[in-house]
Structure 1
Amino acid sequence: MKDIDQFYNKITHGDSLEVMKTMPDESVDVVLTSPPYNLKNSTGNGMKDGRGGKWSNAALMNGYDEYNDNLPNDVYAEWQYRNLREMYRILKPDGAIFYNHKWRVQGGLIQDRSDIIRDMPVRQIIIWQRNGGINFNKGYFLPTYEVIYLIPKSKFKLAPKANRYGDVWKINQDFKNPHPAPFPFELADRVVKSTTGGVILDPFMGSGTTAVAAIAHGRKYIGIEKSEKYIKMANERIDKFKKGSIQEELNI
């Protein structure tokens, strides 16, 4: 095991599961992350529509850099569950995981991600209400929300007055971020300021939004990312934030 302070305020290049295995038990305060959704294996949205147009040009049609986002569903679910178990192991006794995912229709039936969450101690589901996307399937209404699973350890409490936010967060997507699937700064900011922990981990760091939110509130961040391209993107955004040059882009 490595000392946790070796990971502070940097993004480690590597596989999320393997890197977390090198971290000591009960060493981080908060985990905030949004993993790849395995969308290219979906049968329930426009990814496989084939009609071209706007959706055919969407960045996620090409998957992620160094990850195609197209695993067999059982393999994907097992991978994500194992990641959650590692996140939970390294949480302090008063820590919590905020795990952003998306309920999907697969084979005509909704997936509420119980295949991933399994026996994890979910305390609450937060609804992230965002703008609608594109839905070519006439069998169901246009999806306009994602979910954030709050998975705490027993001593976790919110920061003072944070419970006033409620469990439905209306926050628009980030359309200025070059990453193919970013979550907005406002969402990361709300999670960070709703907690009191000093060390924030994102094992799927992507473009660095979690790190920027941690810095904005004087916290330490730990990032893991398997794409060197996204690490470069994230570090550039972090540097710009420290210099005060992307605050307007983040609407702060």
Structure 2
Amino acid sequence: MTLYYEDEYVQLHHGDCRGIRGWTRADVLVTDPPYGVAWLSGQFSNAKVPIETDVAGDADTGARDAVLEMWGKNRPALVFGSWRAPRPQDVNNRLIWYKAANIPGHRTQPWFAADEEIYQLGTGFIGKPEQNVLVTHDRRDGAHGEVAKLGHPTPKPVGLMERLIAKCPPGVIADPFAGSGATLLAARNLGRKAIGVELEEKYCELIVKRLSQQAFDFSALEGVS
């Protein structure tokens, strides 16, 4: 694993997060790991054998579980996931991310998913109590959605990550599955230091581009509780 980018707030490493423990010295884990649902072009597979997916390591929850073991029990963490896969152990709370602008696309079922789960582990979270359903209205899919714009299959809204990080205990944020870089951007916007690790170099390039293009947005602190 190599240091790919560094500024006053963010360190980004390129490599497999399971190969080094430097990121585990952070204070809070906020990450979007492979869910273990064999995600493939917006579809899910129930195949009993591993298949190639659009998300590296998504054939099972092995990568997520290995990282949580490295992180350690009872330490504060927010981890994205799906009801289609087993939840992590020792979950203290479950949040729902409701994607209000989701569109059905080419579906054969009368319902389509518009939500994902976020698991809270450990303690120390702060802020005024609010409902556990977090709503976003940004367009995810389609030609003008975030997926097409960023070139990443599962980007998270920076605003959503700011809301989550604002309730995290003080200290450095770790994201060992940095993906499109939303956690790192959100942490920097809130004046928090962050350590990210990303396996695929093309996404490291995307993160650096986003960090370089987006100036510090300290207005994000306004109204955050």
TM-score bracket relative to the smaller structure: 0.7 to 0.9
* Stretches of structure 1 lacking an aligned partner (at least 5 in a row): 1-5, 49-60, 105-110, 248-252
Match of 1:227 in 2: 200
CA displacement at 1:39 relative to structure 2: 4.5
* Pairing of 1:1-252 with structure 2 (within 5 A): 9-20=10-21, 22=22, 27-40=25-38, 46=43, 63-64=54-55, 67=56, 71=59, 76-88=60-72, 95-104=75-84, 111=85, 113-114=86-87, 117=88, 120-131=89-100, 132-134=102-104, 136-138=107-109, 141-152=111-122, 156-161=123-128, 163=129, 165-173=130-138, 174=140, 175-176=145-146, 177-178=149-150, 179-242=152-215
Aligned residues: 195
Q: What amino acid sits opposite 2:54 in the alignment?
A: G
- Contact 1:16-1:224 within 8 A present in 2 as well: yes
Match of 1:250 in 2: none
More divergent stretch after superposition (170-179 vs 183-192): 170-179
* Stretches of structure 2 lacking an aligned partner (at least 5 in a row): 1-5, 46-51, 220-225
Q: Which has the higher helix share?
A: 1
Q: Cα distance 1:242–1:77, how it changes in 2: closer, same or farther (>3 A)?
A: same
Q: What amino acid sits opposite 1:63 in the alignment?
A: D
- Contact 1:172-1:184 within 8 A present in 2 as well: no
Q: What amino acid sits opposite 1:98 in the alignment?
A: L
- Contact 2:165-2:186 within 8 A present in 1 as well: yes
Deviations 1:41-72 (A, max 9, x none): 67xx7457xxxxxxxxxxxx9714xx3x563x
Deviations 1:104-150 (A, max 9, x none): 3xxxxxx4x24xx1xx2211000111134437343x73222110000
Q: Distance in 2 between matches of 1:38 and 1:121?
A: 18
Q: Give the root-mean-square deviation of aligned CA atoms.
A: 3.0
Deviations 1:139-197 (A, max 9, x none): x7322211000011xxx322232x2x321111135533412210111111011111232
**Counterpart secondary structure, 1:148:** strand
- Contact 1:127-1:148 within 8 A present in 2 as well: yes
> Normalized against structure 1, the TM-score is what?
0.67
CA displacement at 1:88 relative to structure 2: 2.7
Deviations 1:58-87 (A, max 9, x none): xxx9714xx3x563xxxx223321121112
More divergent stretch after superposition (201-210 vs 77-86): 77-86
Q: Cα distance 1:83–1:243, how it changes in 2: closer, same or farther (>3 A)?
A: closer
